[in-house]
Every structure is written in structure tokens, then in C-alpha cells.
């Protein structure tokens, strides 16, 4: 370990992504007591959007049986509940940018088969409105995309899709309202059309409205397939 890393480790000790306890200078992002919690992450995923479903035989979640998406296929690694919810809060709002290393690595490992099948040429993080990003200090989707890119050796482009409007928080909105809320929120560069297969990266997947809005913009510029990978995803029973 370099001396500068050691000093930095003393000032900003690594924290466990699960419980936020200080890990110290040891490598890894999860403390020994929390490793067990990671082993219960297995589950069945919707074959279309990647949400967790109860039984494998169902194949698709309720959402996907009723609605079509614009993106081609999605996958989320962790269920958005329990410790993951708290961890995501800290990652997004409380400066735990370092968690991105863990989640990016988890996405690369758990999504390996899908990435091989999808064959994306580029990773694009879902952009954040510039003013919001300045206030927060970073865009968590960006951090995830860069970490995923590092492990998959795929290029990351943050210049092709921009968020041009501040949008209301999506949480309280219905599906229809979400779509309207996002209309015109993203601007896509013409150059994006030079890629035919794009992997869109975000922190959380809920209804897919954001992914659809960006996928729609990309496809209008000539992109053929848009895949979506998120650190966590809801339960779409």
C-alpha cells in the first residue's frame, strides 16, 4: 500500500456498505459480520425488466405482463429493501461515494452472463440535472457506470445524454404521471447513434419510466438496443 493511500485511509476509513461500520484499512467493502447478509441476495428475476419475482415459473413481473417497455432488457442486482435501502440512501445522499466500488463490482459479477449476451459497446449512466449534481457532489449513476466499466473494460460515455430539465421526484407519482414528468427531460446527442448497443446504468429501478425515457431518446438517434443495469431493483410480484 502506498503511503498516501495509508494516510487517506486514516482520514477517510473505509466503511461497510451494509452497516456503515468502519472497516479500517482492510480491503473489501463489507465487514465480516455482514458477509452473511449478502448470501441471501439470490432470487428470481423478471425475464424482461429484471425485477425480483416470487417464482421462476412466472417468468415476467406483473408490470411487464401489462405494459411494454422501450428498453430491450433489464437487470438489477440487489432487492431494494432492508439494508440495501439504507445503504443506497447513504450512497446517494450522505457522501458514501466509495460504496460505488462495491456496487459496480457486484453488477459486473452478477451481470456477467447478461453482459456477455447483450454485447453492449458502451455504458451510459442516467444523467442527473447539472445543478443537482453540483449540490450533491457526484452523480451516483456515474460512479456506478465507471466502476462497472472498470471491471468489464467497456467504455463509459457521459457526454451523449444530458438531463436538461429538473424533474419532480418520481416517488409519489403514478406511472402515467412519471412518463409526463420525464417527457423532454433528456437530450441525446446525434453522435449516440454511432452505437447500436448501449448499456444504460442507474442506481435503482422502480417502474422503468426513466430507463424508457432515455431509451426512447437513444433509439430516436438510431441506437438499436438499449439494456438497463441497476445496482438494485424493486419487487414486481
Cβ at position 134, least distance to Zn ion in Å? 31
Site for Zn ion in 52-91 (CB under 5 A): 61, 64
Using the rule CB under 5 A, is 192 a contact of Zn ion?
A: no
User: Which of 208, 217 has the CB closer to Zn ion?
Assistant: 208
* Window of 14-22, 91-99, 118-126, 171-179 that interacts with Zn ion by CB under 5 A: 14-22
Cβ at position 74, least distance to Zn ion in Å? 8
Going by C-alpha positions, the residue among 170, 19, 11 that lies closest to residue 90 is: 19
Using the rule CB under 5 A, is 34 a contact of Zn ion?
A: yes
Nine-digit cell string for 129: 440535472
User: Which of 139, 233 has the CB closer to Zn ion?
Assistant: 233
User: Which of 19, 173 has the CB closer to Zn ion?
Assistant: 19
Cα–Cα distance between 237 and 28 in angstroms, integer? 33
Going by C-alpha positions, the residue among 124, 129, 185 that lies closest to residue 158 is: 124
What burial letters (b/e) apply to 135-173, b meaning 16+ CB within 10 Å? eeeebbbbbbbbbbbebbebebbeebbbbeeebeeeeeb
Cα–Cα distance between 166 and 152 in angstroms, integer? 31
Cβ at position 53, least distance to Zn ion in Å? 8
User: 149 CB contacts (<8 Å, ≥6 apart)?
Assistant: 123, 155, 156
- Specify whether the CB–CB gap between 204 and 183 falls below 8 A: no
Cβ at position 66, least distance to Zn ion in Å? 10
Residue from 16, 126, 144, 215 binding Zn ion (CB under 5 A): 16
# residues contacting Zn ion (CB under 5 A): 12
Using the rule CB under 5 A, is 18 a contact of Zn ion?
A: yes
State the residues that interact with Zn ion by CB under 5 A.
Answer: 16, 18-19, 21, 31, 34, 46, 48-49, 51, 61, 64
Amino acid at each position: 500500500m502506498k503511503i498516501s493511500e495509508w494516510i487517506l485511509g486514516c482520514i477517510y476509513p473505509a466503511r461497510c456498505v451494509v452497516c456503515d461500520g468502519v472497516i479500517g484499512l482492510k480491503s473489501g467493502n463489507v465487514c465480516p459480520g455482514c458477509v452473511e447478509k449478502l448470501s441471501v441476495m439470490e432470487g428470481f428475476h423478471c425475464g424482461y425488466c429484471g425485477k425480483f419475482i416470487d417464482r421462476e415459473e412466472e417468468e415476467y413481473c406483473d408490470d411487464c405482463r401489462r405494459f411494454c417497455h422501450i428498453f430491450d432488457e433489464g437487470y438489477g442486482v440487489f432487492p431494494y429493501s432492508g439494508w440495501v435501502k439504507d445503504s443506497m440512501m447513504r450512497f446517494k445522499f450522505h457522501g458514501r461515494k466509495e460504496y460505488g466500488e462495491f456496487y459496480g463490482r457486484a453488477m459486473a459479477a452478477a451481470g456477467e452472463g447478461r453482459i456477455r449476451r447483450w454485447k453492449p459497446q458502451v455504458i451510459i449512466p442516467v444523467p442527473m440535472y447539472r445543478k443537482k449534481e453540483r449540490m450533491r457532489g457526484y452523480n451516483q449513476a456515474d460512479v456506478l457506470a465507471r466502476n462497472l466499466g472498470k471491471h468489464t473494460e467497456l467504455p463509459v460515455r457521459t457526454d451523449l445524454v444530458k438531463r436538461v430539465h429538473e424533474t419532480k421526484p418520481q416517488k409519489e407519482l403514478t406511472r402515467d404521471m412519471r412518463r409526463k414528468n420525464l417527457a423532454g427531460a433528456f437530450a441525446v446527442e446525434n453522435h449516440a447513434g454511432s452505437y447500436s448497443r448501449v448499456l444504460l446504468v442507474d442506481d435503482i429501478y422502480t417502474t422503468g419510466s426513466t430507463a424508457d425515457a432515455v431509451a426512447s431518446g437513444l433509439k430516436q438517434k438510431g441506437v438499436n438496443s438499449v439494456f438497463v443495469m441497476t445496482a438494485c431493483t424493486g419487487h414486481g410480484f
